[in-house]
Structure 1
Amino acid sequence: MAQFGAFYTDNLGTPLRVAQVLGLTSTAFFAGKAFNASFATTPALLEAPAPLLARQWKKQFDADKWLAPAVAIFSSGVFSYIAYRDHAWTKTSILYATSSGLLLSLIPYSIFLFEPVNQKLEAKAQSLAKASLTDASAEAGVAKEETTHGLVDQWATINLGRAVIAGISAVTAVWAAVDRTDVVPATLKFGSGANRM
């Protein structure tokens, strides 16, 4: 007799399921946004002269500077709680804990790698604020890696690392959510007498 499978999934409850979906989507959104900033936006910004580039970078930075910590803390909290409430050392629990740890690693990553570059770029934005936006010689005599273009390029490279970490975290959390679904064999038997049960 052929066996048919029925899908079984843990019931997390509506509030926790909503938090799980928000955690998954916000993590994936942040990974995509960070990747786009490094891969698409920054190359276009690098075409501008230094004073304009400094202003554009500052505007982008100010708009997004609280996004990474907010996503990291919120999603990490959701994934940590789901890992905690799951059975210890199950694959799902380990995957959620890994995803949470990856998100939390974005905070020291940002502090130690981003902050020095951010401070230099903010100083550039302030010092070039009064320069003409189209002044191509505003940074004449400055070492290439210390120019606005060099610093923004360095920022984009570091940000790409942040996108990779967030992307791996998102994939790990999705894997944990999908792994919750198990296939349970369902069989149909006919019995008689004492074997009916």
Structure 2
Amino acid sequence: MTTKPTPIRTAEITALLLSSTLTGLSLSYSTTLTPRLLESPIPIMLTQWTHAFAQGKKYMPPPAIAAGAAYMYLATRRGLANSRMYAYIAAAVLTVGIVPYTFGVMGRVNRMLEGRERTVRKLELELEGGEGVVVTAEERKGLEEEGAWVKGEVEGSRYLVDRWGMLNLGRAVMLGVGAVVGFVATI
């Protein structure tokens, strides 16, 4: 029995650890965070969602890219069977694929939720008599045009958060399948 060289073992551990950890994190956003958000009053829900989204946007892509790079490194090893090479490539694509998935599949919902949160925050400041804070008719119209706020459709915000949680499951599935395919290629 031969042991694997340290760089290969390190790449395997890095790829599997990062992709499986991201799977759990993404899954927890949909199964734990989203239901708690939906229990909150709309303004709080939107603020909390915005903070969680900003944190995820900051911290999830770098490890996904690192895991994808490690899977690609593993795919380029000499003497690797084609099936294992393709499995590592698939794991890399699935893992890094969460970035374009977020923009392409979830982008519209993300923008609408961010816009609603900005609108609610600004309206609250206006109602509190915030110094110099006035939501002009032009600003309201601009926010409506970008799909940020639909007057009289407050429950639409809950629908969007719920929709975001469902769409986020797609990212968790991509990461999970990537981790499993990477694991199978490694053993």
TM-score normalised to structure 2 length:
0.79
Percent identity between matched residues is: 30
- Aligned mate of 2:22, from 16, 22, 30: 30
1:115 counterpart residue number: 107
Answer yes or no: is 1:81 the counterpart of 2:92: no
Counterpart AA for 1:150: Y
**C-alpha spacing 1:36/1:156, structure 2 compared with 1 (3 Å):** same
Structure 2 counterpart SS, 1:33: helix
Counterpart AA for 2:83: K
After superposition, where does 1:72-151 map in structure 2 within 5 Å? 72-87=64-79, 89-130=81-122, 131=124, 141-142=152-153, 144=155, 147-151=156-160
Q: CA RMSD in A?
A: 2.2
TM-score normalised to structure 1 length:
0.75
Query: Whose helix proportion is higher, 1 or 2?
Result: 2
Q: CA deviation at 1:100?
A: 1.0
Q: CA deviation at 1:111?
A: 1.2
Per-residue CA deviations over 1:55-82 (Å, capped at 9, x if unaligned) read 1101111111133321221111111111
Q: Unpaired segments of 5 or more residues in structure 1?
A: 1-7, 133-137, 179-197
Contact 2:46 2:117 in 1 (8 A): yes
Runs in 1 of length 4+ with deviation above 4 angstroms? Answer: none
Q: How many residues align?
A: 163
1 CA distance for matches of 2:14 and 2:106?
26
Structure 2 counterpart SS, 1:72: helix
1:171 counterpart residue number: 180
1 CA distance for matches of 2:18 and 2:176?
11
Q: CA deviation at 1:105?
A: 2.3
Structure 1 counterpart SS, 2:60: helix
Q: CA deviation at 1:9?
A: 4.8
Structure 1 counterpart SS, 2:121: coil
Q: CA deviation at 1:143?
A: 7.1
2 CA distance for matches of 1:45 and 1:104?
27
Contact 2:16 2:183 in 1 (8 A): yes
**C-alpha spacing 1:85/1:121, structure 2 compared with 1 (3 Å):** same
Structure 2 counterpart SS, 1:128: helix
1:153 counterpart residue number: 162
Structure 2 counterpart SS, 1:48: coil
Q: Unpaired segments of 5 or more residues in structure 2?
A: 126-148
Contact 2:75 2:86 in 1 (8 A): yes
